[in-house]
């Protein structure tokens, strides 16, 4: 019970600290990044050879500079999710399983998602796309 209370207090403290932006000496906010995570993780098949069906499960976080942009990302979640699943489903096993291929896929997902959100909102709000989980078989 005491551990739960301590964990709750620690979580509140961390959330409070991170809710403030990084401040410069003159008091101006420097950066106030926020993250949007796709829930649940994205799972799809990729192109494999032979009889074995390959699949990949990825966790993705989109980094935005302004926390107010999270509303736009949440609104367009289905569009962005579909685009990422389409990209992942068209990859070969060699590309999915290599580090350089993974980075190429991440970059393609970032470019596509940023282009789509810019078409929908009129501004490119995504600063980065991160794979937080990347499992394949």
Mean pLDDT for the stretch of residues 42-48: 90
Bond before 40 cis per omega within 30 degrees? yes
d(CA 121, CA 99): 32
What topology does CATH give the domain 33-136?
Tetrahydropterin Synthase; Chain A (3.30.479)
Region of poorest pLDDT, from 25-34, 43-52, 104-113, 128-137: 25-34
Domain residue spans of the chain: 1-30, 33-136
Is residue 87 within a helix (H) or strand (E), and if so which, with residue range? helix 77-89
Greater confidence (15 vs 61) lies with 61
Instruction: Give me the residues paired with residue 131 across strands.
Output: 60
- Residue 3 pLDDT more than 80? no
Greater confidence (137 vs 28) lies with 137
pLDDT digits (tens, 9 = 90+) for 52-67: 888 999 999 999 999 9
Determine the pLDDT at residue 51.
76
- Residue 37 pLDDT more than 70? yes
d(CA 47, CA 5): 48
Integer angstrom CA distances of residue 14 from 17, 49, 84: 5, 47, 31
pLDDT digits (tens, 9 = 90+) for 80-133: 999 999 999 999 999 999 999 999 999 999 999 999 999 999 999 999 999 999
d(CA 6, CA 10): 6
- Residue 29 pLDDT more than 70? no
């Amino acid at each position: 019970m005491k551990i739960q209370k301590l964990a709750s207090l620690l979580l509140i403290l961390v959330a409070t600290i991170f809710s403030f932006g990084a401040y410069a000496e003159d008091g101006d906010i420097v950066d106030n990044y926020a993250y949007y995570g796709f829930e649940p993780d994205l799972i799809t098949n990729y192109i494999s050879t032979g009889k074995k069906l390959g699949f990949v499960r990825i966790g993705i976080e989109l980094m935005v500079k302004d926390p107010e942009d999270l509303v736009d990302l949440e609104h367009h979640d289905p569009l962005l999710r579909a685009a990422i699943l389409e990209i992942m489903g068209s990859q070969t096993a060699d590309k999915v399983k290599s580090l350089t291929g993974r980075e190429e896929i991440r970059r393609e997902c970032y470019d596509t998602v940023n282009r789509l959100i810019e078409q929908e909102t009129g501004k490119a709000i995504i600063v980065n796309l991160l794979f937080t989980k990347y499992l394949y078989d």
